[in-house]
Amino acid sequence: MLGLSPTQIRSYANLGFLKPERGDRGELRFGFHDLVILRTASELSAAEVPQRKVRRVLRRLREQLPAGRSLAGLRITAEGDEVVVRDGDAVWNPDSGQALFDFTLSDITEHTAEVVPHVLANPKDDLDVHGWYALACELELSSISEAKDAYEHVLQIDPRHADAHVNLGRLLHEEGAPAAAEPHYRAAIETDPEHETAAFNLGVALEDLGKLGEAIEAYKRALLFDPDNADAHYNLAGIYERRGEKYAALRHLKAYRAIVQS
């Protein structure tokens, strides 16, 4: 009914997200609140949110809510690559715990259209590195070229800002310039050696550049900090398959399947 496998449902129950009762034959019997949470998990999966991220979000939400408060009373949705939670007027990202403003895209576009020309024309205005970074993230919704300029400003102020390097690298990469993205991913790793996203993105860039040996090392680095990174396992399986290393390819493909089916 929900599009979830029995294994996935048992996993959510075992992690404590659900409170099923046992029937006369020992079967699990789910209540209304359980079904709401399972429907949420199903909708996030349908939005291509990885299962590992769904579980992580639900776990962090449980930690963020007051004791006794059910997850079923929240509205949990996927917006792009992020999961957003709404509870009345409150909106936040459960991964970071950061509160969000519930603007529509038209609101953001109108706001940035007014603010950005002035800010970019007056770089000495009172905007610190955090302000520039927040502006750059916001600009990604309305103007990629101006977002890149804003990330460049962040790096002029703080050349070791790992997230700015990762985001600027991603924008360059998405424009078809993996060679331009590579040094930004490497700079992020140099600043933050445990930056999993930088390691994974570097692997993708190196793979696109045909540097398969270096790509393998980058993907392995990403898995060192997140062994459940299904995409890293999948990409490694593909590289090993191309290199004729069947056993290594199969090992990572099995790991990929285990993660996405859990």
- Choice among 37-46, 109-118, 177-186, 223-232 with the minimum mean pLDDT: 109-118
- Cα dist. 74→2, 31, 37, 41, 50 in Å? 18, 16, 9, 12, 20
Q: How high is the pLDDT of residue 72?
A: 66
The residue ranking higher by pLDDT, 14 or 257, is 257
Residue 113 above 50 pLDDT? no
Q: Does the pLDDT of residue 201 top 50, yes or no?
A: yes
* pLDDT band at 134; cut points 50, 70, 90: confident
Quick check: 154 and 161 in contact, CB under 8 A? Answer: yes
105-261 is classed CATH 3.30.479.30: no
- In this prediction, residue 180 carries a pLDDT of 96
Confidence band, pLDDT 50/70/90 cuts, at residue 68: low
Mean pLDDT score across all residues of the chain: 80
Residue 250 has pLDDT above 80, yes or no: yes
Instruction: Using alpha carbons, select from 119, 109, 118 the residue that is nearest to residue 139.
Output: 109
Contact present, 35 and 21 (Cβ < 8 Å): no
pLDDT the model gives residue 218: 96
The region of weakest confidence among 61-65, 74-78, 200-204 is 61-65
Provide mean pLDDT across the span 1-8. 73
The stretch 117-126 carries a mean pLDDT of 52
Question: 108 vs 79, 115, 135, 177, CA distance in Å?
Answer: 15, 10, 11, 28
- pLDDT band at 141; cut points 50, 70, 90: confident
Report residue 79 as tokens. 């917006």
pLDDT confidence bin for 258, thresholds 50/70/90: confident
The more confident residue out of 52 and 121 is 52
Query: What residue spans define the domains of the chain?
Result: 6-99, 105-261
pLDDT, residue 225, reads 87
Say yes or no to pLDDT of 40 above 70: yes
Q: What percentage of the chain has pLDDT greater than the value 70?
A: 82
Q: Which residues pair with 84 in a beta bridge?
A: 77
